[in-house]
A = this chain, B = another copy of it.
């Protein structure tokens, strides 16, 4: 069944937590708790998603079609029946690219005005 998606731009700017979750799911599918750990690891502990932020973000992202829940566990060894795995959709990747574009433009303007050093 063909589903209509809105323009990726209409979802911008993305909430910060949403972008972090997209990055965490980029290289492989993960369950919720693993996303939380991955974001913390990638940011050297600077970003600690609370459970409330994580699961309310995931719910919204499911509704928006940015991520999807996987039917089969990608890790058959795991005995943990509680885990629910999520993966990026093609639309999710498009939106991430659009948000990256927006952030890049914002940073480049900040550099032009001299607000931040040219080299970071």
Contact = CB atoms under 8 A, between A and B. Distances in A.
Given A93-B115, A114-B26, A115-B23, A42 B120 contact: no
A110 B101 CA distance: 11
Contacts of A42: 109
A107 interface: yes
A120 B106 contact: no
A105 interface: yes
Q: Helix, strand, loop or mixed for chain A's interface?
A: helix
A90 interface: no
Interface in A2-33: 13, 16, 19-20, 22-23, 26-27
A90 to B, nearest CB: 12
Given A93-B115, A103-B106, 9 more contacts: A20-B106, A23-B106, A26-B110, A26-B115, A27-B114, A96-B110, A97-B117, A100-B116, A104-B107
